[in-house]
Amino acid sequence: MTTRSAGSTGDLKSGVGLKAQHYKTILDSRPAAGFFEVHAENFMGAGGPPHRYLEAIRTHYPLSIHGVGLNIGGSQPLDRLHLQRLKQLLDRYQPELFSEHLAWSSHGGTFLNDLLPLPYTPSTLDLVCSHIDETQAFLGRRMLLENPSTYVTFAESTLTEEEFIAAIARRTGCGLLLDVNNAYVSSVNQQRDPAQYLDRYPLQHVEQFHLAGFAETRDPAGQRLLIDHHGDRVHADVWQLYADVVSRAPTAPTLIEWDNEVPELQALLAEAHKADAVVASVRTSPGPVAARAGGAR
C-alpha cells in the first residue's frame, strides 16, 4: 500500500499540546499557534465532548497526533484492535503528522504506564522495522518515530542509539521526531555528550521536533539524574542544543510538551513563540546561533 507523506508542515509555526482546560480559551480567542498536538489514546472513543472540541479546533488549526500505546518495540505482535482504532482516528482528523515512540509499553496483555527502553541489537532492529512496516501499511501513511528518554542501557547492545535509529529510517522509510529534551536527558543520564549525540543523529530524516522540561535529582552514586517529566519550561541547555540542531533541519515544526502541572495557555504559547524566535534567528544568521538561544529557565 502506498503510504501518505507525513505532511507539508515546513511553514508551520511552533505548536503546543492540546489540553482540556484550554479548549474554550482556544475557541474563544483563537491564539497565534502553529498547530496543536494530541495523544491518540485520549481520543479513541467514538464521541463525547473531547471529539466535539477537537473537531472545532481542527477547523482552525493544523493537528498532529502522537501515539503512546502502539508498543512498536514490544516483542509480541502489534495489537490489531489498537491499530484499527488508530486508523479510524487518523482517517477522521487527517493530521499533518502522526508519530510514535521507540519503546515498548505492554506485554502479555498487561499495559504499563511507562515507555521502556530497548537493547540496540540486530534482532531488535528487525523487530522494530517489521512493526513500523506493518503500521505504515495498515494506516496507509508515513509515521514519525521519536527517540526515547532513557535511564538505563543494555549490556547486549551492539549499536549506538543514533546508529539504531538511522538504520530504522533507512529500512522503513519512516520519518523521525527528534525530541531534543529526550536527547539531553538520556545523554546526561548515560554520561555522554549530548552535542556529540546530535552530531551523529540522522538529521536528514527529522520532520518534527519536541521540546519539554525535565526534573533533576541525584542517583545513589551522587551523579545527576534527569527525569523527563514534562512539567516545566524548557531548560536553557536544551534551548542551546535546539538552536544548533534546528539550523540543520530548519523546516521541521516544533512542539512544546507540557503535560504535568499544566499552566495557563499563554505560558505554553510563550514557549512556542520562543521556539519560533530561535528558528527565525537560524534562518537569518550566517553562522552558528547556539549561544543566542538559551536565556533563563
pLDDT given for residue 108 in this prediction? 56
Helix (H) or strand (E) holding 65: strand 63-66
Q: What would the mean pLDDT of 54-66 be, rounded to a whole number? A: 97
CA dihedral 282→287→291→294, nearest 10 degrees, is 0
Distance (Å, whole) CA 145 – CA 135 = 12
CB 118 within 8 A of CB 124: yes
Q: What would the mean pLDDT of 225-229 be, rounded to a whole number? A: 84
**pLDDT tens per residue, range 136-195:** 999 999 999 999 988 878 889 899 999 999 999 999 999 999 999 999 999 999 999 999
Q: What would the mean pLDDT of 57-83 be, rounded to a whole number? A: 94
Q: Which residues pair with 175 in a beta bridge?
A: 144
pLDDT given for residue 220 in this prediction? 82
Distance (Å, whole) CA 148 – CA 178 = 9
pLDDT band at 217 (very low <50, low <70, confident <90, very high): confident
The phi, psi pair for 198, rounded to 5°, reads: -70, -30
Distance (Å, whole) CA 247 – CA 24 = 35
Q: What would the mean pLDDT of 91-117 be, rounded to a whole number? A: 78
pTM: 0.89
Q: Please say if the pLDDT value at position 2 is more than 50.
A: no
The phi, psi pair for 209, rounded to 5°, reads: -115, 150
Report the mean per-residue pLDDT for the chain.
88
What separation in angstroms does the CA of 6 have from each of 46, 97, 183?
Answer: 25, 5, 22
Q: Which residues pair with 66 in a beta bridge?
A: 39, 99
The total of other beta-carbon atoms located within 10 Å of residue 195's CB is 16
pLDDT band at 17 (very low <50, low <70, confident <90, very high): very high
The phi, psi pair for 90, rounded to 5°, reads: -65, -40
pLDDT given for residue 127 in this prediction? 96
pLDDT given for residue 7 in this prediction? 38
Q: What would the mean pLDDT of 77-81 be, rounded to a whole number? A: 94
CB 169 within 8 A of CB 200: no
Distance (Å, whole) CA 85 – CA 78 = 13
pLDDT band at 296 (very low <50, low <70, confident <90, very high): very low
Distance (Å, whole) CA 90 – CA 36 = 15
Q: What would the mean pLDDT of 107-131 be, rounded to a whole number? A: 81
pLDDT given for residue 48 in this prediction? 92
pLDDT band at 34 (very low <50, low <70, confident <90, very high): very high
Sign of CA dihedral 293, 256, 173, 132: positive
Distance (Å, whole) CA 277 – CA 279 = 5
- In CATH terms, the superfamily for domain 15-292 is Divalent-metal-dependent TIM barrel enzymes (3.20.20.150)
pLDDT given for residue 105 in this prediction? 66
Distance (Å, whole) CA 214 – CA 191 = 16
Q: What would the mean pLDDT of 209-223 be, rounded to a whole number? A: 87
**pLDDT tens per residue, range 253-281:** 999 999 989 999 999 999 999 999 999 99
CB 102 within 8 A of CB 118: yes
pLDDT given for residue 297 in this prediction? 35
Q: What would the mean pLDDT of 219-247 be, rounded to a whole number? A: 90
Find all residues with CB under 8 Å of 242, minimum gap 6, and list them: 180, 209, 211, 234, 254, 275, 278, 293
Instruction: Tell me which residue has cell 538559551.
Output: 294
CB 244 within 8 A of CB 180: no
Q: Which residues pair with 220 in a beta bridge?
A: none
